[in-house]
């Protein structure tokens, strides 16, 4: 009877002095994968680490620089302003001063800034002058300067009483600056345009509904605010202009006019000679080449060429609408993109 031969592997396990753990091979593979991942990660992260070190040194260096005179100047400007203004107020409060009753109307910044380096005997500090504008009880304006010193460890020190000097004179009488007119050409206001501007001005001091009708704003969500407690007594046109296209063609349907409006007290009794005030506006007129032009927007003097239709309207939800695309700029011929005027038979 033939005998079964033993497996050589079994013989090895039987005769071996030390039998290896079957899981040793798996552990070796895991170590190899871990090492390979570590090497791969180090290759990827090495440039990032270098970049991080560069950024860290940059931050450190910038931090060192920020502790120098630059930061001291910013801090001294703010802190020194408080101390300088308090000193100036106390000086003005002196009843025996010829400037008693004067008011500080503005702080105009600092000037004459000078850094004093530290020595073996004293610390470093910064000198600066705080400039203010004074308005006296007589209606005269002056420049007041207060000299201060600042040190981070010592604080702010006011060095002297204020220096008061007159402001620079106003412009010479014969200088007549004008607004830029590029892309616009002066034009006379027709009688119908003048009537439209007068109707708008009257509505501006009447009621929001009247003002909305005057502008022909058909958006039901729009509302307008009006002047209160005043009456419009007269309206005059100072100047008017229309946009000109790149080809030199004038858009006579659009007019921007600077107008003067005279206001009086609405509560004043007739014949008592109440106060009168004159104000100016820039207004945007559409349909100026028709018999029924109308004002669609208004603003401060100088804003006329940048006005857009119904930009004064406020939505009922409280949000101001974005300016419309029908801006009266010279590049698009002004009012060429405006919505056509609705028919208003019998409407004045």
pLDDT in tens, 55-79: 655 544 444 334 344 434 444 466 7
**What was the pLDDT predicted at 326?**
46
3-state secondary structure of 165: strand
Q: Please state at what angle helix 208-215 crosses helix 191-204, rounded to 10 degrees.
A: 160
Residue from 302, 337, 324 nearest 184 by CA? 302
The C-alpha atoms of residue 297 and residue 267 are separated, in whole angstroms, by 28
**What was the pLDDT predicted at 57?**
52
**What was the pLDDT predicted at 46?**
62
**What was the pLDDT predicted at 3?**
53
Tokens 């620089």 belong to 65
pLDDT-based confidence at residue 20 (cuts at 50, 70, 90): low
Instruction: Tell me if 106 sits within 8 A of 133, measured CB to CB.
Output: yes
The C-alpha atoms of residue 36 and residue 42 are separated, in whole angstroms, by 10
As a whole number of Å, the end-to-end CA separation of the chain is 132
The vertex-88 CA angle with 84 and 118, nearest 5°, equals: 30
Instruction: Tell me if 290 sits within 8 A of 190, measured CB to CB.
Output: no
DSSP string, 96-132: TSTTTT-EEEEEEEEEEEEEE---SSS--EEEEEEEE
**What was the pLDDT predicted at 332?**
38
Of 45-49, 199-203, 265-269, least confident by mean pLDDT is 45-49
The C-alpha atoms of residue 257 and residue 286 are separated, in whole angstroms, by 11
Mean pLDDT of 322-332: 45
Tokens 């501007």 belong to 197
Q: How many CB atoms lie within 10 A of CB 154?
A: 10
- Quote the percentage of the chain above a pLDDT of 90: 50
The C-alpha atoms of residue 178 and residue 304 are separated, in whole angstroms, by 13
Residue from 334, 308, 333 nearest 321 by CA? 308
What element of type H or E holds 222? strand 222-223
The C-alpha atoms of residue 147 and residue 314 are separated, in whole angstroms, by 48
Residue 237, Cβ density class (10 Å: 0-12 exposed, 13-18 middle, ≥19 buried): middle
The C-alpha atoms of residue 173 and residue 148 are separated, in whole angstroms, by 38
pLDDT at 239 exceeding the cut of 50: yes
**What was the pLDDT predicted at 29?**
59
Instruction: Tell me if 312 sits within 8 A of 204, measured CB to CB.
Output: no
**What was the pLDDT predicted at 120?**
87
Instruction: Tell me if 215 sits within 8 A of 310, measured CB to CB.
Output: yes
What is the number of residues in the chain? 348
3-state secondary structure of 76: helix
Better-predicted residue by pLDDT, 118 or 52:
118
pLDDT at 293 exceeding the cut of 80: yes
pLDDT-based confidence at residue 27 (cuts at 50, 70, 90): low
Q: Per the confidence metrics, is the pTM higher than 0.85?
A: no
């Amino acid at each position: 009877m033939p005998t079964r031969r033993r497996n050589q592997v079994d013989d090895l396990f039987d005769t071996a002095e030390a039998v290896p753990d079957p899981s040793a091979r798996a552990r070796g593979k895991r170590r190899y994968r871990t090492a390979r991942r570590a090497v791969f990660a180090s290759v990827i992260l090495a440039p990032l680490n270098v970049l991080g070190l560069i950024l860290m040194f940059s931050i450190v260096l910038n931090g060192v620089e920020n502790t120098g005179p630059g930061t001291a100047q910013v801090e001294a400007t703010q802190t020194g302003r408080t101390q300088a203004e308090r000193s100036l107020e106390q000086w003005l409060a002196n009843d025996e001063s010829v400037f008693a009753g004067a008011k500080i109307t503005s702080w105009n910044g600092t000037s004459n800034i000078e850094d004093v380096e530290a020595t073996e005997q004293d610390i470093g500090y910064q000198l600066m002058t705080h400039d203010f504008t004074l308005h006296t009880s007589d209606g005269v304006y002056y420049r007041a300067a207060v000299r201060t010193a600042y040190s981070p460890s010592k604080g702010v020190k006011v060095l002297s009483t204020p220096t008061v000097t007159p402001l620079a004179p106003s412009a010479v009488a014969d200088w007549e600056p004008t607004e830029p007119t590029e892309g616009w050409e002066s034009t006379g206001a027709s009688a119908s345009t003048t009537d439209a501007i007068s109707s708008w001005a009257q509505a501006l001091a009447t009621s929001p509904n009247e003002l909305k009708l005057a502008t022909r704003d058909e958006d039901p969500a729009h509302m307008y605010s009006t002047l209160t407690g005043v009456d419009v007594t007269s309206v005059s046109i100072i100047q008017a202009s229309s946009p000109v296209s790149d080809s030199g063609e004038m858009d006579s349907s659009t007019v921007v006019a600077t107008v003067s409006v005279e206001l009086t007290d609405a509560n004043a009794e007739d014949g008592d000679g109440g106060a009168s005030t004159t104000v100016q506006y820039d207004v945007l007129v559409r349909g100026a080449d028709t018999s029924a032009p109308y004002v669609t927007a208004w603003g401060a003097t100088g804003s006329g060429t940048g006005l857009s239709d119904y930009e004064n309207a406020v939505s009922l939800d409280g949000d101001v609408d974005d300016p419309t695309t029908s801006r009266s700029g010279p590049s698009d011929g002004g009012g060429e993109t405006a919505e056509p005027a609705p028919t208003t038979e019998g409407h004045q």
